[in-house]
Chains A and B, each alone.
Chain A
Amino acid sequence: MSRHPSRQRLQRWLDTGETRRVDRHINECEHCQSTLDALTELDDEVVADLQTAVAPPDDLHDRTNVGVDGRLRSEAATGVFADLFLVGWDVVHTILDPTTDSDMTQPDQIETDGSIR
């Protein structure tokens, strides 16, 4: 389509989506895009109401920071707990494993210099 569609035709395109030919033209034509921009421009009052309608609560930043900090701390604590659990499991496994040849009936005696008797 070499010529620009009329405003009526662009309006019809908005209403019905016809036709592929107009589609193609609009996709490539900044002039028609500007016309459509003007045809569909929202009133300032509507935009202002929209801005208010989706405005976040006043304390959004504080709530987000507190929530994110809490999540990060909780995850860090979960990681420590998981590590402790794994250490505990290793100990239990060592005690119960019959292939372990160390004598667990008598606890090792640790000397004051750190050596094991």
Chain B
Amino acid sequence: MSSRHHDADGRPPEEQLRRVVEQHAAAVYRVALTVVHDAALADDVVQETMLKAWRHSPVAPGEAIPKAWLLKVARNTAISLLRTRREDLHGPETLPEGAGGPETTRTVEGRAQLDELWELMRHLDEDARTLIVLKEVDGLSYDEIAATLDLPLSTVKTRLFRARKALKDELKDWN
């Protein structure tokens, strides 16, 4: 995108912001949901993250915002939001209504299975959940995860192995 597409302050134009939303909102939502466990709060985190991307983009106007940077902002925003609202949250035992995306017409049985899987995920610590979602759902590389979580590469790998092992153990106990 050429510089004529940017506003006087050099911030990304609305068009670019919309593109960021289109490309990354889903991944930001997943990270947020992994931390806050609440669809409405996850929505707030997505909006807040996009506003931060608008105001504090780490790259020159017109350049693509790195996904890892955006997800790091999302995670920090979610943790911060959760801290301020922790007293109000009672920890929903099931996935929020609306979660499940395009497959909202799932059967009751299917929905219950998702709720149970999510409940097992909640038994893991936040780090482990985020690692699993970033790797297994978003398909991030180890390098990208390391950049997102500010961790050394080897730490990402070993923690991910342990996180997946912990989830497998939970699944085994559940079955």
In whole angstroms, what is the CA distance A39 to B47 when docked? 38
**Residues in chain A near residue B34, CB distance under 8 A:** 54
**Residues in chain A near residue B168, CB distance under 8 A:** 40, 42
B47 touches A54 (CB 8 A): no
Number of interface residues of A (CB under 8 A): 36
Query: Knowing that A55-B100, A58-B102, A68-B17 are A-B contacts, what are 12 other residue pairs whose CB atoms are under 8 Å apart, sorted by A's residue number?
Result: A27-B158, A36-B161, A47-B137, A50-B121, A52-B103, A53-B118, A53-B121, A55-B26, A55-B103, A60-B46, A68-B21, A68-B54
Is B157 located at the chain interface by the 8 A CB criterion? yes
B117 touches A49 (CB 8 A): yes
Is B123 located at the chain interface by the 8 A CB criterion? no
**Residues in chain A near residue B30, CB distance under 8 A:** 54-56
Majority secondary structure of chain B interface residues (helix, strand, loop or mixed): helix
Is B22 located at the chain interface by the 8 A CB criterion? yes
- The residues of B with any CB-CB pair to A shorter than 8 Å are 14, 17-18, 21-22, 25-26, 29-30, 33-34, 39, 42-43, 46-47, 50-51, 54, 95, 98-104, 106, 113-114, 117-118, 121, 132-133, 136-137, 154, 157-158, 160-162, 164-165, 167-168, 171
Return B95 CB to nearest CB of chain A, in Å. Answer: 6
Contact partner of B171 among A28, A46, A53, A65, CB < 8 A?
A46
User: Residue of A at shortest CB range from B114?
Assistant: A53
**Residues in chain B near residue A72, CB distance under 8 A:** 51, 54
B158 touches A53 (CB 8 A): no
The 5 tightest CB contacts between A and B, nearest first, are: A55-B101, A40-B164, A27-B154, A56-B29, A67-B47
Is A101 located at the chain interface by the 8 A CB criterion? no
**Residues in chain B near residue A58, CB distance under 8 A:** 101-102, 104
Return A43 CB to nearest CB of chain B, in Å. Answer: 8
- A26, A27, A37, A50 interface centre (most CB from chain B within 10 Å): A50
In whole angstroms, what is the CA distance A29 to B43 when docked? 40
Contact partner of B101 among A39, A57, A63, CB < 8 A?
A57
Return B157 CB to nearest CB of chain A, in Å. Answer: 6
Return A47 CB to nearest CB of chain B, in Å. Answer: 5
Is A14 located at the chain interface by the 8 A CB criterion? yes
